[in-house]
Structure 1
């Protein structure tokens, strides 16, 4: 498949194979699953940790848990950017500019941590 439309034909074949696998998997699931026409009455009740649910299905969550999750994701993703920098740090041509850019990057991270610390977000109360 050479030429201008060769890459599009390859893409079409890959997409077609993906669709065939997707449809085949769902069709096999529908054909092979056990079917019970008389569904038990408790089939759609939530079941967690072996305890039957009690009360309503709505619960209020504290916002501080979302703040901790957000801070974790923020700093975990930011830490991912440190690894490529560490790999190219000692390569020729990446000297002072790389150190300066990473110093700015870490300073912004430090400002974020300092802000969260000063606002008492990082304390468990």
Structure 2
């Protein structure tokens, strides 16, 4: 056995052992519950739920979530650049300007296409 992998093997064994210990203790010490009619009913903060849990959400919610992830990653990139700005020099500054310019162009294109409009005007369906 390679001596370099010994700490990794010890750590893996420790993790598996700790997981087994926690699962075993929860099985031994955990209480048993009986499922009653009241226990099987859904419970949300003391309010009796009405209706189904399957809601049809507009695709715009997912689109906004994707925009958030994209611009959040952009903010993380700019933050990393700001930390390493002195080492990056003018070349790094130029790269950041190109990156932000492309991102601004993409945002302008999305805005112009109406992807950011929450309630776009309805299009007429059918012909007259």
Q: Identify the TM-score tier after normalising by the shorter chain.
A: 0.7 to 0.9
Higher relative contact order (CA 8 A, sep 6+): 1
TM, length-normalised to structure 1 = 0.83
Is residue 16 of structure 2 the alignment partner of residue 22 of structure 1? no
Give the count of matched residue pairs: 119
Q: Which of 51, 72, 78 lines up with 1:76 in the alignment?
A: 72
Between the aligned partners of 2:55 and 2:82, the Cα distance in structure 1 is 45
Q: Which runs of 5+ in 1 are unaligned?
A: none
Higher helix share: 2
For residues 38-53 of structure 1, the aligned pairs below 5 Å read 38-53=34-49
Is residue 59 of structure 2 the alignment partner of residue 63 of structure 1? yes
Report the alpha carbon displacement of residue 71 of structure 1 after superposing the two structures with TM.
0.4
What is the Cα-based RMSD across aligned positions, in Å? 1.8
Q: Which residue of 1 aligns with 2:81?
A: 85
Q: Deviations over 1:19-45 (max 9, x none)?
A: 011111111111111113x32223343
Between the aligned partners of 2:80 and 2:53, the Cα distance in structure 1 is 45
Q: Which residue of 1 aligns with 2:125?
A: none
Report the alpha carbon displacement of residue 16 of structure 1 after superposing the two structures with TM.
0.6
Q: Which runs of 5+ in 2 are unaligned?
A: 120-128
